Amino acid sequence: MDDPNGTPDADGPLLVIVDGANVVGSRPDGWWRDRRGAAERLRDRLAAEGLPGRGGPVEIVLVVEGAARGVTSVPGVRVEEAPGSGDDRIVELTARSATRSRLVVTADRELRRRVTALGAEVTGPRTLLG
């Protein structure tokens, strides 16, 4: 985890940054009726299950935006509210942790391009949702 001065911890666990809007929106399960509730369900699933298929410690950050703002962090998942674009916040978090291993979970092609240019790995929502 970054220290209080914002210096990345090169020995930290894998940083998993989840594009909340993109992952929630990948399943037509009525999420649009309650975006905040859908983001909370995703947060709770991440807290309970972690990152399927990855051994070792991970630090999970769920980025929320728009109507999903107000979702709080829980043990195992830090929630970051994007003041504007969720994609821009994800890129910022990815860049800020440049010395760490990073995995961004999204299906958004442009976001994938932006974070891979910063050296992050990318995977799609199915990694989390099965």
User: 108 in helix, strand or coil?
Assistant: coil
Q: Model confidence at 3, in pLDDT bands (50, 70, 90)?
A: very low
State the average pLDDT over residues 84-102.
96
Global confidence as pTM: 0.89
Place of tokens 């990345």: 8
Q: Which residues sit opposite 79 in a β-bridge?
A: 62
Asked if 69 contacts 24 with a C-beta cutoff of 8 angstroms, the reply is no
pLDDT for 54 equals: 80
Q: Find all residues with CB under 8 Å of 9, minimum gap 6, and list them.
A: 1, 2, 3, 99, 100
Q: How far apart are CA 35 and CA 130, in angstroms?
A: 20
pLDDT for 29 equals: 85
Q: Model confidence at 61, in pLDDT bands (50, 70, 90)?
A: very high
